[in-house]
Chains A and B, each alone.
Chain A
Amino acid sequence: MLKPKIISEILNQVLSSSINTALLFSQEGSLLSYATNKCNNIGSPILVSLRDPSEPSKMIAAISSNVWSVYKNNCSFWFEQNQDDYLNMIFLDCEEGKVIISQAGKLLIALVGNNETEIGLLKMKMNTLVKYFNNSLQYVGDSSDN
């Protein structure tokens, strides 16, 4: 089972001045938990003006999960040939920031940093998060047994 508040606290620990959002979401793209800096300015002014504070995170979750599934579905041909080699991380270098997506258990995690963030730092933080969540989220979020 998920304790959304505690997950949010854990996610909060990876935030820094240059990494402003961390989120956990399902493969279908629905946001489960997130942490974000108070001075959050993901970039586009449209996002900031929205009333629901979780709205920007929801959008990132939706877009990221879509990107993830596109790669996952279309790359399966390569991955099947070599069992050790599978999609485990995606970096997106966007105009107004950097995004990293990875899988933990059956759920996805994304970190969003601004342009000053180094990709190596994002990757290290992500690895730690994934390692932490991998055990605990093993059984959660399997939508196929619905």
Chain B
Amino acid sequence: MGKSGSGKTSMRSIIFANYIARDTRRLGATIDVEHSHVRFLGNLVLNLWDCGGQEAFMENYIASQRNHIFRDVEVMIYVFDVESREFDKDMHYYQSCLEAILQNSKDAKIFCLIHKMDLVQEEQRELIFKEREIELKQRSLPLEITCFKTSIWDETLYMAWSSIIYSLIPNVRMLENSLQNFCSICEADEVVLFERATFLVISHSTKKPHHDIHRFEKISNIIKQFKLSCSKSQTLFQSMEVKNSNFTAFIDVLTPNTYIMVIMSDPTIQSAATAININVARKHFEKIEKMASFR
């Protein structure tokens, strides 16, 4: 949810419908609520309700459709436009929504995205974000919230959504342990698990620290673009192996719903051995996924 024009639909289109940032200019205003179902990790179905943000609709949600909209909510993602002039009004709607959530589904997780951060000068971003975060946290009491600063023009959007998704995956601990084991057995520097359709990071295991903390989001972005250009030449992206003098990176399908990326920096380890390891691990991860779906 969020104010009109704050970028909710743009966000959704980029993450779930393979739009690139430029294409979102074509999007018009959302009328009422747009429902979309995203199959995520195979059996997890994400019901996204993209709620149009014009004031008339907002009033409607809070008043007459209150039960319909706010019942059985797992997650509420509220988008704030950082440039918005009517901060108090935004806050008013936000708090009304919180109230409704508190009444109808009080276990919902709440995420606030301070969006369009690209419009703020680079030096001020952190400062403004901190300011807003404190303000929002204070106003959201007694509910716990998580804030992210985002922009559709860089990797911050992926980072925010990855953390949101992460909080929704049922047996994430088990997945993480398996990934950790896999990483140490094949002596990889880093193993990252991506969701297949959205290329959001699900989990990762790092043995050697890397200086760039935004690398996953950058990779998500790059691979997604690459997948798009693959589909333009009417082929499907399956896997790739990138090698230079410092490291080898493998990106391959792991299960029907995930991609795995393995980074190896030891030149004595042959790439065929890693490929076999990925192949063997596949069965194990498929089993975990099946177990998750039985629950």
Query: Which residue numbers of A lie inside 8 Å of B, CB to CB?
Result: 1-5, 8, 25-26, 30-34, 54, 139-141, 143, 146
Residues A32 and B185 in contact, CB atoms below 8 Å apart = no
Is residue B276 contacting chain A, with contact meaning CB distance below 8 A? yes
Q: How far is the CA of A3 from the CA of B266 in the complex (A)?
A: 12
Q: How far is the CA of A31 from the CA of B266 in the complex (A)?
A: 15
- Point out the residues of chain A lying under 8 angstroms from B266, CB to CB: 5
Q: A1-B185, A3-B185 are in contact. Are A30 and B280 (CB under 8 A)?
A: no
Residues B279 and A30 in contact, CB atoms below 8 Å apart = no
Q: A1-B185, A1-B186, A3-B187 are in contact. Are A31 and B272 (CB under 8 A)?
A: yes
Residues B277 and A1 in contact, CB atoms below 8 Å apart = yes
Total residue contacts A-B, CB cutoff 8 A: 50
- Point out the residues of chain A lying under 8 angstroms from B268, CB to CB: 4-5, 8, 54
Could you say which of B182, B270, B280, B281 contacts A4, with CB atoms under 8 Å apart? B270
Is residue B63 contacting chain A, with contact meaning CB distance below 8 A? no
Residues A32 and B186 in contact, CB atoms below 8 Å apart = no
Give 28 pairs: A residue, B residue, CB < 8 Å, sorted on A: A1-B182, A1-B185, A1-B186, A2-B186, A2-B273, A2-B276, A2-B280, A3-B186, A4-B269, A4-B274, A5-B187, A5-B268, A5-B269, A8-B268, A26-B272, A26-B276, A30-B270, A30-B272, A30-B275, A31-B270, A31-B272, A32-B276, A33-B270, A54-B268, A54-B270, A140-B276, A140-B280, A141-B276
Residues B185 and A4 in contact, CB atoms below 8 Å apart = no
